[in-house]
Structure 1
Amino acid sequence: MPELDDFRNFDVHWSSSEEMKEVREESVQSVITSPPYWDLKDYGHEDQIGTSDESYELYHDRMAEVWRECYDVLSDDGTMWVVVDTVMERGDLQLLPYHIAERAEDIGFVLQDMVVWHKPTAIAGMTDRNVVNKKEYVVYLSKNKDHKFNEGEAGNSLEDPAVSEDKRLGNLWRNPVKRGSIGNNVLHKAPYPTSLIERIVRLSSNEGDTILDPFLGSGTTAKSALRLKRKCIGYELNEDFDDIIADRLSDLKQQSLTDF
């Protein structure tokens, strides 16, 4: 299995993204991430954001520090894409994507849309009394109103309602999560599919641009960015993800050797 240092154009920082002093201001074209949810998943580090001993307000205070860092390192025409869903707080539904958008707007971001990610393979509701949740949201933000948006690079599939012939890209994206993927990764409990991230990478950047993931997790964003010939910077608190990320990227290493 390769080491992370073997991959060119990929930098991982094993620290909190509440401070990203290693990244130059205005050097990132796109931020793509799925942040930790409040009081829902344990990612195995004592300093993680969103643990049960934090209030919902403190969670957003800490997340706002991350969004502020992202804003500073984004280029003037850069965008930020946050994959997140609603959560339950003591039996009450919290509109987490909208609260993230509100905090980001306070920092200076422009809310462009709330894309709905349709997950047809989802099988569980939030509780036994809820309907089965078949969606998450992609909070689509930009640093300025004028920003890079490569609509012609969005990609398509026969089952995807987002794109139809001679029509603009829609905000309902069908990206199934591979059956059996949730639960196989002991450390990372919230994977998202590469098809979803590759669409965002193509939409928001060009070859050679830099993608940032402030919550790198198992490395899906890095895999998509590197495969599409972008650079990638990731922040991750839990160094136990090192081997998982390297394993996810291993087929890219084999591909580069084949090309050579």
Structure 2
Amino acid sequence: MERVMKAALLYEGSKELIIREIEVPKLNSGEALIKVKATGICHSDLNIIDGVIKPPRYPHILGHEIAGIVEDFIPINIEEKRFVDTLFQETEGRVIVYFYIACGRCFYCLRGEDNLCLNFRRIGFEEWGGYAEYIKTPIKNLIPLPKTLNFNAAILVDAGATVYRALRKAKPLPGTMIAIIGIGGLGGMAIQIAKTFGAGVIAIDIIDEKLMYAKKLGADYTLNFKEIYCEDVYEIGKIIKKALDISYVDIVIDTVGSSST
């Protein structure tokens, strides 16, 4: 008898997620079955629901910020078996699921640049995601989750790791002034991480409530972008420095990525 699970399905033309019973995913070699304990709601999930981003097929299961427990696995080699065995010993099988699945065979993957994979798939986008009781994923995409971190906090790692990598590459020193544009999930994380580097933070957004939130997170300065917008990118820098009475901005982290930012 086939095992079934509950999942929240998005059907074409609908903006509602419908709970249905479907088959539990069957594993192939190199995959693990994860009992989902928590899944985040990212703005990209809302874009899929609104039709801004279209999945390759319907019905679709959203959710790419996933934490759970390994329930079953089929290792492709002895290294994968040892990895999962160690998981159970150290974390009782608790994991975070990395949603980006690289092919491992293309030009970039063979160079160790799998973030540029030409044939990538993403859990919650091209593949079914974590708005379900179970999900399957490549064993190589499992990240050990310490017992000291709860599942609800673990799903924030997706946003946190994104801005942490950007800040680590920027190499801020104590006293560095960092402007962070867009105070959503990524921007909020960026503020907190930037402060651990000893940096000063300028939080920039177009919504005053978000700027108030930025202050609570530790931002040294806040600025409503609507009050300083200018077509000339070089002039904006001067306007920011004058408005905040500061002499320099060393690093800019743009979490919005639009033409206006």
Q: TM-score, normalised by structure 1?
A: 0.29
Question: Greater strand percent: which structure?
Answer: 2
Question: Greater helix percent: which structure?
Answer: 2
Larger Rg over CA atoms:
2
Of structures 1 and 2, the one scoring higher in RCO (CA 8 A, sep 6+) is: 1
Q: TM-score, normalised by structure 2?
A: 0.29
